[in-house]
Structure formats: C-alpha cells, structure tokens
Amino acid sequence: MRLFFVKDFLDLVFPRNCLLCGRSLYDHENNLCTICKGTLPVTSYHLRPVDNDLCDKVKGLSTVGMVMAYLKFTKGGNSQKLLHQLKYRNKPQLAKELGSMYGKILNENGFANYWDVIIPVPLHPLKQSRRGYNQSEQFGLGLSEALSLKLENGLQRGKFTETQTQKSRLQRMDNMDDVFEISNYNNLSGKSILLVDDVMTTGATLCACANVLLANGAKNVDLVTIAAGG
C-alpha cells in the first residue's frame, strides 16, 4: 500500500507524459502513449531492404548490404519531434524504446539471425560528454535486446567535425574523411555487422563508418537508423 502511495505522489510531482502529445501515460506506457505509437510514420524498408531509395542514396559511397529505417523523416513531423527529444531533451530511454519497437518488427520479419553484432555510430567524446549519452548507442541497445544480439562500441570518432546540416552530399563525404577508426573491439574478421545511427540524410556518416569496418575485416555491413528521409 505504501509503495502505491509513493508512486502516486511521484506521479503528481513528476508527471509522466507522452513525449509527443503530452497526455498522461498509463503504468504500462513508457515514453509514448499507445495512440501516438499507433500513428508513428513506420516505414516498410524491412520488406525491401536491398532495393529501396535509401539503398540508392549510398550507391557509390560504400558496398553495404541492407539499408533500413524505422521511421519516415518529415520536417515538422513526429519523427523530427522524436529526434529533437533525443538530441536536446535528454531522453536516452526514448531511443532505447524505439530500438526495442523496431527490433520486434525485424524479429517478426525473420531478421533475428542475420547479424553477429550491433555497432553504433559514435559521437565525439566532447559532444557525448555534453549530451550525456549517445542516442545511436541507446537505439542499438533496444535493438540488441529485441534481437538477442550483442552491442559493441567498435568505432571511435577521432576528430570533431563541423555540422553536416548545410553541406552537400560530396561536402559531407569530404567532412567524414579519416573521422572514424576502430576502437578496442577489433574482432571484426568475418563478422556480419548491423551499423546503427539516429538519422540518415545523405548517408555520408554511415558510409564512412561502414567503410572502416569493411576495411578491417567485416564480412558485410547493413545499416539501420531511427529515421530517414526520402
């Protein structure tokens, strides 16, 4: 009885609200209410993982295999609002929940045994220190639990890069030169790797990471992000 009283008191002082619509969450809901989960712009890339517009984006940049994203990115839409929560509102648990939700979809569609390890795109240590976490790593943790896969921080970012927002596709690739390197996880030989990030725009960052992994012995690299535009 006392535990219920404490919980009710905490909910009153620190209300748990949906991060999209602001409605009060039920006990079984974590970051998003059931209604908002049902209206997320979920893609069907997992049905055509090697033949879609995201695959077209990375042609000529890297020899990756499958390219998928959980949500369709639209400016001002729910996917952008969620990414804003991850980057600026200190919501690592949201990234992990999104990973778990997409992991279940992948699991249901036969992807459970496709990969040996999940590797997230790393943040520069200074940026991660300011933010407090790497949202791509948290997304990967959710995927790892749903798919029963190990997550390894197999890459590190060697230098701080300028923002990519206003750069062209070629400028983004130039900006990524020699940025990433293998970290303490060096057992890549013959491994099938799921490389994860929060958002895909031109694919320059993901391809730069994939190229480092492939150059260091990875058998193949597939890409998955929280959101991606058309």
pLDDT at 176 (0 to 100):
72
Asked whether 213 and 155 are in contact (CB, 8 A), the reply is yes
Per run of 10 residues, the mean pLDDT along the chain (length 230 residues) is 49 77 95 97 98 95 97 96 96 98 98 96 93 97 98 87 57 72 83 97 95 96 92
Q: Tell me how far apart the alpha carbons of residues 64 and 56 are, in angstroms, rounded to a whole number.
A: 11
pLDDT at 217 (0 to 100):
94
pLDDT at 17 (0 to 100):
96
pLDDT at 15 (0 to 100):
83
Asked whether 201 and 164 are in contact (CB, 8 A), the reply is yes
pLDDT at 139 (0 to 100):
98
pLDDT at 9 (0 to 100):
44
Helix, strand, coil percentages for the chain (3-state, nearest 5): 40, 15, 45
* Per-residue pLDDT reduced to its tens digit, 11-51: 545 589 999 999 999 999 999 999 999 999 999 999 999 99
* Residue closest to 139 by CA, chosen among 105, 98, 107: 98
Is 0.85 surpassed by the pTM of this model?
yes
Helices (H), the chain: 2-13, 34-38, 53-58, 78-88, 92-108, 125-131, 135-147, 169-175, 204-215
Structure tokens at 57: 């984006």
